[in-house]
Amino acid sequence: MKTRIKELRARLNLTQEQLAKRVGVRRETIVFLEKGEYNPSLKLAAKIVRVLGFIRGSRIRIKC
């Protein structure tokens, strides 16, 4: 299952590297998350939501 991380990251004009630094992971982790090839911990998912900003009414699909 793919996520909306890439879409939301692009809206904020963030590179994968920038997002990775903000949440404290390697860029490769962001790549795997965007492709739906990695299941993040709840802690990492929460960090990503905080960085990308949760927009009321939208859902970030993270495969858990």
Give domain 5-52's CATH architecture. Orthogonal Bundle (1.10)
Q: Token pair of 41, please?
A: 């911990």
CA angle centred on 17, ends 11 and 21, rounded to 5° = 100
Q: Token pair of 28, please?
A: 């490769």
Q: Model's pTM, two decimal places?
A: 0.79
Phi, psi of 54 (to 5 degrees): -85, 120
Does residue 64 register a pLDDT over 50? no
DSSP code, position 12: T
In tens, the pLDDT along 13-54 reads 999 999 999 999 999 999 999 999 988 999 999 999 889 886
